[in-house]
Amino acid sequence: MYIPAHFEQTNIEMMHALMRSHPLATLVTLGDEGLNANHIPLYLSAESGQYGVLQGHVARANPLLGDSNLAEVLVIFHGPNAYISPTWYATKPATGKVVPTWNYTTVHAYGKLQQIDDATWLRTHLEAMTDQHEANMPQPWQLSDAPHDFTERLLGAIVGIEIMITRLSGKWKVSQNQPQENQVSVVQGLSTSQLADAGAMADLVNQGVSL
């Protein structure tokens, strides 16, 4: 990933926070049939290793499990992103030298993938993932709410995967390359926009303004 110095994110806690808040990741592998991409929600356990461990599961029928060359895999997490209109820039009336761009945040995690075909590990993993995502529900659902024989059959249809993260790359493209007056006006433009991630992106740009 190309990362100009002013867009580089090196704070591990901030990268971990993005990975937790946007857990549906793109797992990119170079296998026996070439490049492959799977879209998988992953659970981050930050207690292990320097950068943490990613845990997930795939269907037993997924060809990923048959690949023999998984020495290193790439996992991509996409955070908030938003189109930035040149009409939002405060400098536009004076110079006209502005163009559209796209602000975004992303984390690339690298590591070796290990397959785990163990029902006990899978149940523990599913309980942890479910507890995380059900935490804010009025009546959190638990794995034990479903009939035991039903979940046991489903467990037999999946295989666990675990990736010990060996390196992390983060890119926060949030208008840091713009003068402060444009950063302020971009926040204002985003605040009145109907874009899906406008509010989250306005907060990210505003963090730079506040420094």
- For the chain, the average pLDDT equals 93
What pLDDT does residue 96 have?
Answer: 87
d(CA 11, CA 92): 33
Residue 210 has pLDDT above 70, yes or no: no
What pLDDT does residue 34 have?
Answer: 86
Digit-coded pLDDT (tens) for 7-30: 999 999 999 999 999 999 999 998
Digit-coded pLDDT (tens) for 126-173: 999 999 999 999 999 999 999 999 999 999 999 999 999 999 999 999
Digit-coded pLDDT (tens) for 82-113: 999 999 999 998 888 889 999 999 999 999 99
Digit-coded pLDDT (tens) for 34-44: 889 999 999 99
State the pLDDT confidence band at 211, using cuts at 50, 70 and 90: very low
Domains, the chain, with CATH or none: 5-81+104-175 (2.30.110.10)
Contact 84, 197 (CB under 8 A): no
Q: What DSSP letter does each residue of the chain carry, written as one string?
A: ----GGGEE--HHHHHHHHHHS-EEEEEEEETTEEEEEEEE-EEETTSTTT-EEEEEEETT-GGGG-S--SSEEEEEEEEEEEE-GGG-TTHHHH-----EEEEEEEEEEEEEEEE--HHHHHHHHHHHHHHHHTTSSS---GGGS-HHHHHHHHTTEEEEEEEEEEEEEEEESSTTS-HHHHHHHHHHHHT---TTHHHHHHHHHHHHH-
